[in-house]
């Protein structure tokens, strides 16, 4: 019954509710005009035949990091190579060329390092003998005695 009363009151409130008018829209001119930003164009010199050479070589004995790279460019032809030591102990060397006729071509070589792995000494197998300790026969266990519990009859009786 209370649900019907609440539903009726909600419908009555919705029917009596008025529409709240929105605030009037006002259009105004901007306060100030900003001058457009002039872009400064800096012309760079165009090199019709670019050329460069660079190389680096890292040999870190502390961390074992060993890698190198060299590259040269003459016009539209780029040639170079790089090498590094993979996690599995091989040296990977990549020789690459790039030109407008053949595109990018790379040749990858994997060579094992000249360092030999340290071989761990294997000890001779140990011979095991049978145990010397004597095992005694288990002791005999007796079943626990069960004590009977006597209950007296109830004093009051219930009749249904």
Better pLDDT: 126 or 78? 78
Residue 94: both structure tokens together = 């990549």
31 occurs within a structural domain: no
Residues 6+ apart with CB under 8 A from 69: 55, 56, 80, 81, 82, 83
Number of domains in the chain: 1
95 occurs within a structural domain: yes
Domain extent for 98: 51-112
State yes or no: pLDDT of 156 exceeds 90: no
150 occurs within a structural domain: no
71 occurs within a structural domain: yes
61 occurs within a structural domain: yes
Identify the pLDDT of residue 107.
95
For the stretch 89-115, pLDDT in tens is 889 999 999 999 999 999 999 988 876
In three state form, how does the secondary structure of 30-88 look?
Answer: CCCCCCCCCCCCCCCCCCCCCEEEEEEEEECCCCCCEEEEEEEEECCEEEEEEEEECCC
Identify the pLDDT of residue 99.
94
17 occurs within a structural domain: no
12 occurs within a structural domain: no
Identify the pLDDT of residue 110.
93
State yes or no: pLDDT of 78 exceeds 70: yes
Distance CA(6)–CA(43), nearest Å, equals 78
Distance CA(129)–CA(133), nearest Å, equals 12
Distance CA(58)–CA(69), nearest Å, equals 9
State yes or no: pLDDT of 4 exceeds 70: yes
Residue pair 65/42 in contact (Cβ under 8 Å)? The answer is: no
102 occurs within a structural domain: yes
Identify the pLDDT of residue 139.
76
Q: What is the mean pLDDT of the chain?
A: 84
Distance CA(58)–CA(67), nearest Å, equals 5
pTM: 0.45
Query: Cα dist. 13→3, 19, 21, 146 in Å?
Result: 15, 13, 18, 79
Identify the pLDDT of residue 101.
93
For the stretch 17-57, pLDDT in tens is 777 777 777 777 767 777 888 888 888 888 889 999 999 99
Percent over 90 (pLDDT), the chain: 33
State yes or no: pLDDT of 85 exceeds 80: yes
Distance CA(117)–CA(89), nearest Å, equals 10
Residue pair 67/83 in contact (Cβ under 8 Å)? The answer is: yes
């Amino acid at each position: 019954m209370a649900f019907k009363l609440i539903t009726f009151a909600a419908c009555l409130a919705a029917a009596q509710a008025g529409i709240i008018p929105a605030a009037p829209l006002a259009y105004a001119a901007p306060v100030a005009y900003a001058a457009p930003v002039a872009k400064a164009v800096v012309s760079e010199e165009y090199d019709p035949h670019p050329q460069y050479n660079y190389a680096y070589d890292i040999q870190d004995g502390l961390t074992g990091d060993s890698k190198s790279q060299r590259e040269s460019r003459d016009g539209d032809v780029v040639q170079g190579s790089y090498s590094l030591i993979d996690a599995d102990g091989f040296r990977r060397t990549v020789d690459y060329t790039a030109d407008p006729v053949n595109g990018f071509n790379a040749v990858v070589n994997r060579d094992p390092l000249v360092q030999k792995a340290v071989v761990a000494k294997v000890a001779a197998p140990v011979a095991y003998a049978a145990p010397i300790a004597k095992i005694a026969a288990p002791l005999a266990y007796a079943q626990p005695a069960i004590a009977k519990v006597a209950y007296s009859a109830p004093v009051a009786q219930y009749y249904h």
